[in-house]
Amino acid sequence: MRDRAARRARRAARLAADGLRDERGFTAVGAALALLLALSLVLSASQVQRISSVSAEVQDVADAAALAAQNEVAEFMTVVRVCDAVVLTLSLTGVVATGLGVAALCTPPTMPFSEPLLSAGKSIFKARDTFAQKASEGLSRLEALVPFFSAANAASVAQANSSDAGGAYLALALPCPAEGGGIAIEGLEGADELSASVESQADGIRDAAACAEELAQEADEVKQRAFEHDCGANPGYCMYERASSLAGLEGSDNPLYRSVDSWSFSVALKRAQAYYRARVATEQPEGSSVEEQARSALRQRFYEYAAEEVGEGYVNEVEGSFDASFPLLPRDTDEMRATRLYTEAAYPLTSGADGPVLHAWAGCPEAAGAQGLGSLSQMEEGGLGTCPACGFDAASLGKVAAASTSIENGFEYHYRIVAEAAQEYEDAMARLAPYADEVKEAAGGLLGECGELLDKAKGQRIEASPPGSLGSVVFVANLAAVPAVTGPASAFVSDSGSLGMRAAVSAASLLEDGADGQGDVVSSLLDGLDGGAATGALGIVLDCWSGLLRAYSDGQEALESTVEGAIGALPFASASGLGSWAAGFFSDAVAEAGLEPADLDALKPVLVNSGQVAQADGTGFAARLASLKTEALDSPASGGDVLSGIVGSAEESLVGAVEGLEDGIEVASIELFEGGPAATIRVALPLAVGEEAEGLIHQAADALRGAVASVTGVRTWR
């Protein structure tokens, strides 16, 4: 054991003497090697980071250029939505103006509005189709320029990132798809037919409505007279006041109405029925004399008869129809002779010295031992005598209602006026009905056509698939060379050479963003369209269009609100009620339109994988790009020629796209009606589109072709 330890000590001393290690495992040679290795790794990592950082800059610029290119597509879609708003709301405004014009034909107070409303509706339909044609042409032209705008905007962003510190960027943007689908806006089918139908029937509706109004006013005058004599004259003499004073009627048996609008003939009839039932139940002689008792008995007889007759009366009243029966009560002896009061055997009959004698009631002192009943008609035929005590004859009964019917303090006086008015009212309503039916049939048919046209209009929306609707692919090159090493020279990292041209590919697409604000954008772009000042019917039309424009995103709710506002601006109230009927009919048609709000979610550019954009398109250069990316992944050095071809074809399609556009692009112009407000939808050129735009595109294409030529097998496009 002692020898083994000694040998180990001698070996350790020998190694220490050689300078390789000490007892802690540290030697000068080992330390030197470790330091050299660590320094090499640090400097190499620094160089790699340097190269990566410089390379990443070009990708950042490519991403920014892609977003800028796609932003032009988003702005084009905003212009499409503006035109869609104008076309849709012009269609709706034309229908609303026509519907209001038809409704205005139905009553004299609104007839002066009908002609300008109908004329405005016809003009708006024409303006709508004219605008649609211009917008179709203007949007198609603008759509063809979207690729150039996108390319110019991308190139401008690239140039803005250039600097003396190592940036000389050029960009080339390519839309997917390269061409749009075109913008086609059809005319509003059925608008001309509706205008022609209205024009052919307008005079007939107007004449029938005038006749109906005249008869309705006549009927209203009659009804007003009846109302006054039933309860409207209170606290003066009237059926209400007389029923309260003479029979003590209150509450539901004797209601008081303050307005003829809430009153009806049935109120008067029910009051009369309650009144005569009460008089039958409460009739009492006013004295004890035979004469007074006889008069009371005859009043009782009259009230019983009146209660039975009036009780058979009726009132059947629905909208546009009136049928009533107010039985008339006799107001003198002659009229009494025409009733069963005269012919009915209801009076005691006794035998006298000169023959049979007729008595007023069974309580007559001379009526004791009555042997039967007789009638006044029998008396006047000569077969019956007059009682010496009660003096009963036809005149006695005829006088019962004569006084109360002849002077205004009698209930029967006012009842007869109401009963006669009911017959006059029924006659007027009967003469009114054919004219009202004619108006409702003709106007209702036209308003129904307006509702059908609304249904068609809501479905005619502008759809667009412009270049770049699937996305935009951007190629960016940085032409500036930068030193490979910026730090101190080192034996571990070469300080010779520089980093040459760098290139990158990026892509962006559009994503709907539900954030608020896009609706405000559309509204602000439309501010110039609803100018002008007008009054009367044309003012109503302009208010309608303005309301529909500014509520473009609200759909059905805004449509109904706008129409209700327009209806409220016209004096549709009339005696015939045809104006209110037509307005309500049109409102119901509008309520059934079911207009959906426009999609106003903002379109915002977002970065996406360029391969996904190319695959989504699958045509033209996008197909070649997708193929290139596939080839590059399989064989990095094989894609150069393909990419060169893509760049060349893109350059040809972009350069020369804009000529003579110094003042911007006029999409469409509109004049609502002759002498009305006029406006133009004009799109200003993007700031990037200037004299240098084509030059930037040429430079970008040349740079990209140069980048392709410099690509080796170990450098790939991403």
pLDDT digits (tens, 9 = 90+) for 609-630: 877 777 776 565 555 555 555 5
Rounded to whole angstroms, the Cα distance separating 500 from 61 reads: 17
3-state secondary structure (DSSP) of residue 535? coil
DSSP code per residue over 562-603 = HHHHHHHTS----SS-HHHHHHHHHHHHHHTS-PPPP--PEE
Tell me the average pLDDT across 645-652: 54
CA-based nearest residue to 511, from 614, 597, 607: 607
Rounded to whole angstroms, the Cα distance separating 184 from 147 reads: 20
Tell me the average pLDDT across 472-481: 82
Rounded to whole angstroms, the Cα distance separating 623 from 613 reads: 10
Look at residue 171 in the predicted model and tell me its pLDDT.
Answer: 85
CA quadruple 152, 158, 161, 166: dihedral positive or negative?
negative
pLDDT classification of 499: cutoffs 50, 70, 90: low
Half-sphere exposure of 278 (CA within 13 A, CB side): 18
Give the contacts of 689 (CB within 8 A, at least 6 positions apart): 148, 149, 152, 153, 658, 661
Residue with the bigger pLDDT between 291 and 678: it is: 291
Q: Let me know the angle formed at the C-alpha of 564 by 559 and 567, rounded to the nearest 5 degrees.
A: 125
Half-sphere exposure of 99 (CA within 13 A, CB side): 30
Q: Evaluate if residue 631 carries a pLDDT over 60.
A: no
Q: Of the ranges 207-211, 431-435, 540-544, which one carries the lowest mean pLDDT score? A: 540-544
Rounded to whole angstroms, the Cα distance separating 466 from 239 reads: 79
Q: Which helix (H) or strand (E) holds 544?
A: helix 536-550
| Residues 23-79: tens digit of each pLDDT | 555 566 666 777 767 766 665 555 555 555 666 678 888 899 999 989 989 888 888
Tell me the average pLDDT across 136-140: 87
What phi, psi does 387 have (nearest 5°)? -70, 130
Residue with the bigger pLDDT between 244 and 29: it is: 244
**Would you state the structure tokens that stand for residue 115, as one six-digit string?**
């002609």
3-state secondary structure (DSSP) of residue 604? strand
3-state secondary structure (DSSP) of residue 342? helix
Tell me the average pLDDT across 240-258: 95
Rounded to whole angstroms, the Cα distance separating 109 from 261 reads: 19
Looking at the chain, the whole-number percentage of residues with pLDDT higher than 90 is 42
Give the contacts of 285 (CB within 8 A, at least 6 positions apart): 292, 293, 295, 296
Look at residue 528 in the predicted model and tell me its pLDDT.
Answer: 53
- The answer to whether the CB of 361 falls within 8 A of the CB of 293 is yes
- The answer to whether the CB of 234 falls within 8 A of the CB of 241 is yes
Look at residue 635 in the predicted model and tell me its pLDDT.
Answer: 46
CA quadruple 71, 512, 463, 623: dihedral positive or negative?
positive
Residue with the bigger pLDDT between 707 and 152: it is: 152
| Residues 306-349: tens digit of each pLDDT | 999 999 999 999 877 899 999 999 999 999 999 999 999 999 99
| Residues 70-126: tens digit of each pLDDT | 998 988 888 888 888 888 889 999 999 999 999 999 999 999 999 999 999 999 999
What phi, psi does 25 have (nearest 5°)? 85, 10
DSSP code per residue over 468-492 = TSSEEEEEEEE---EES--S---SS
3-state secondary structure (DSSP) of residue 425? helix
Strands 602-608, 502-513: pairing is: antiparallel
CA-based nearest residue to 326, from 403, 396, 239, 404: 239
Look at residue 277 in the predicted model and tell me its pLDDT.
Answer: 96
CB count within 10 Å of CB 607 equals: 16
**Would you state the structure tokens that stand for residue 150, as one six-digit string?**
């996108």
Residue with the bigger pLDDT between 666 and 543: it is: 543
Rounded to whole angstroms, the Cα distance separating 570 from 472 reads: 53
| Residues 167-188: tens digit of each pLDDT | 678 888 888 888 888 888 888 8
Rounded to whole angstroms, the Cα distance separating 247 from 284 reads: 12
E-strand spans in 414-501?
471-478, 482-483, 498-499
Look at residue 680 in the predicted model and tell me its pLDDT.
Answer: 72
3-state secondary structure (DSSP) of residue 93? helix
State the DSSP code for 381: I
DSSP code per residue over 149-197 = HHHHHHHHHHHHT-BTTTB-EEEEEEEESSS---------TTHHHHHHH
Q: Evaluate if residue 10 carries a pLDDT over 90.
A: no
Rounded to whole angstroms, the Cα distance separating 380 from 196 reads: 73
Tell me the average pLDDT across 483-504: 59
Length of the chain measured in residues: 718
Tell me the average pLDDT across 415-431: 96
Tell me the average pLDDT across 369-395: 90
What phi, psi does 647 have (nearest 5°)? -60, -45
Rounded to whole angstroms, the Cα distance separating 474 from 75 reads: 18
- The answer to whether the CB of 345 falls within 8 A of the CB of 374 is yes
3-state secondary structure (DSSP) of residue 252? helix
pTM of full prediction above 0.85: no
Greatest Cα-to-Cα distance within the chain, rounded to the nearest angstrom: 190
**Would you state the structure tokens that stand for residue 574, as one six-digit string?**
């009339």
Average per-residue pLDDT in the chain? 81
Strands 169-176, 471-478: pairing is: antiparallel
